[in-house]
């Protein structure tokens, strides 16, 4: 957490060049800490690989992910169809490749929604305190009374099954965690001298929140956001698996698994490749998230 504070706090007193140098060295320290241990490197590589696959999927995929080819249905993995074909002859390899685009988008959109709602709520609750804080935090408590992804399930039940709604639901479900975290950090930051100083020079509340408070509570938010990424991907895939997220013929991994499970005895590749894809993706983000958390913690960084 010291990393961000060093670069933003008290910046007025430091000459611009030195400030830049400090920022660069802070970022370099962070980068070094992030990729020093194997988990950070492996996680980073997996994510990079995923992004490349997602970008290149339409070019490198040998077939269209939705092209039906009934004569070649349920053929096992071969040179023609690396991961085999599904019940209506679609190429599983091409589908898994283009599924990566959906998964990354799901993670990005869900976490952004959670961030937008959670950070705003937490900021308002922590900054204004009093009755506002009380009301916001009781709402958060109620949201946290729904175990795991049950809240997302309830929201998607209301909005109706679709991938967009699943992303919204997962985002809202994850917001309470951010709200709690941000509120706690804001409570400690708002007592600092530079916030008082900003009040004294007559800055508006909105300006203080965005210019003085937010940059100094950013570090824990970044950590939680990276850790929330795999959770969101997994939750959305689960919703799709239950038929409440992506709808056919979308090559979403969770929905591929559920349509493949009918053929578990005869065509296990229909569940194994999408399952493996989810596993590797979530693993990559988990490894990376843990590395970000450790790198952000200066006590761990110095070791």
Partner 1 sequence: MAVYIARRLLLLLPVWFGVLTLVFLMRVLVPGDPVDIMFFGQQTNPEVRATIRHELGLDRPLYVQYGKYIWGVVHGDLGTSITTQRPVVTEIKSRYPNTVVLTLASLTVAVSIGLMAGILAAVYKDSLIDTVSMVLSLGGLSMPGFWLGLLLIYIFAVNLHWFPVLGSMSPKGLILPSVTLGVIASAVLARIVRSSMLEVLREDYIRTARAKGIKESTVIIQHAWKNALIPVVTIIGLQFGALLSGAFIIEYVFAWHGVGELAVQALQKRDFPLIQGIILVVATTYVLVNLLVDVLYAAIDPRIAYQ
Q: Which residues bind partner 1 (CB under 8 A)?
A: 39, 138-139, 141-142, 145-150, 153-154, 156-160, 230, 234, 237-238, 241-244, 254, 257-258, 261, 264-265, 268, 271-272, 274-276, 278-279, 282-283, 286-287, 290
Instruction: Give min distance, CB of 17 to partner 1, in A.
Output: 42
Pull the structure tokens for residue 103. Answer: 């998964």
15 versus 160: smaller Cβ distance to partner 1: 160
85: β partners: 91
Whether the CA torsion 231, 218, 169, 106 is positive or negative: it is negative
65 versus 254: smaller Cβ distance to partner 1: 254
108 versus 159: smaller Cβ distance to partner 1: 159
Question: Quick check: 39 and 287 in contact, CB under 8 A?
Answer: yes
91: β partners: 85
Pull the structure tokens for residue 136. Answer: 């916001």
72 versus 290: smaller Cβ distance to partner 1: 290
Pull the structure tokens for residue 19. Answer: 């400030």
Helix, strand, coil shares of the chain, percent, nearest 5, are 75, 0, 20
Instruction: Give min distance, CB of 238 to partner 1, in A.
Output: 6
Instruction: Give min distance, CB of 300 to partner 1, in A.
Output: 12
Tell me how far apart the alpha carbons of residues 161 and 4 are, in angstroms, rounded to a whole number.
40
Instruction: Give min distance, CB of 295 to partner 1, in A.
Output: 17
Instruction: Give min distance, CB of 51 to partner 1, in A.
Output: 18
Tell me how far apart the alpha carbons of residues 135 and 236 are, in angstroms, rounded to a whole number.
29
Instruction: Give min distance, CB of 158 to partner 1, in A.
Output: 5
151 versus 208: smaller Cβ distance to partner 1: 151
98 versus 255: smaller Cβ distance to partner 1: 255
Residue 85 DSSP SS3: strand
Burial class (CB in 10 A: 0-12, 13-18, 19+), 70: exposed
Torsion of the alpha carbons at 175, 181, 187 and 191, rounded to the nearest 10: -120
238 versus 250: smaller Cβ distance to partner 1: 238
Q: Which candidate, 237, 291, 202, 210, places its Cα nearest to that of 99?
A: 237
Instruction: Give min distance, CB of 221 to partner 1, in A.
Output: 21
């Amino acid at each position: 957490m010291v990393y961000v504070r060093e670069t933003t706090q008290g910046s007025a007193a430091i000459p611009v060049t030195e400030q830049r140098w400090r920022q660069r060295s802070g970022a370099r320290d962070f980068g070094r800490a992030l990729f020093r241990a194997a988990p950070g490197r492996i996680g980073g590589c997996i994510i990079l690989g995923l992004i490349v696959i997602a970008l290149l999927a339409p070019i490198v995929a040998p077939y269209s992910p939705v092209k039906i080819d009934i004569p070649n249905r349920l053929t096992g993995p071969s040179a023609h169809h690396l991961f085999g074909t599904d019940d209506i002859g679609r190429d599983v390899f091409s589908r898994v490749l283009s599924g990566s685009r959906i998964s990354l988008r799901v993670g990005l959109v869900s976490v952004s929604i959670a961030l937008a709602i959670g950070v705003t709520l937490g900021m308002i609750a922590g900054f204004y305190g009093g009755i506002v804080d009380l009301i916001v935090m009781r709402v958060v408590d109620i949201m946290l009374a729904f175990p795991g992804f049950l809240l997302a399930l309830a929201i998607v039940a209301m909005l109706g099954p679709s991938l967009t709604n699943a992303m919204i639901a997962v985002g809202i479900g994850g917001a309470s965690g951010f709200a709690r975290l941000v509120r706690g950090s804001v409570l400690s930051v708002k007592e600092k001298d530079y916030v008082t100083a900003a009040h004294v020079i007559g800055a508006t509340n909105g300006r203080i929140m965005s210019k003085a408070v937010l940059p100094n509570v950013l570090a824990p938010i970044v950590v939680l956001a990276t850790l929330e990424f795999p959770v969101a991907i997994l939750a959305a895939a689960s919703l799709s698996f239950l038929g409440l997220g992506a709808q056919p013929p979308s090559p979403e991994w969770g929905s591929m698994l559920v349509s493949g499970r009918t053929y578990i005895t005869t065509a296990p590749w229909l569940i194994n490749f999408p399952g493996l894809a989810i596993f590797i993706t979530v693993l990559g983000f988990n490894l990376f998230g843990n590395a970000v958390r450790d790198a952000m913690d200066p006590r761990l960084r110095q070791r």
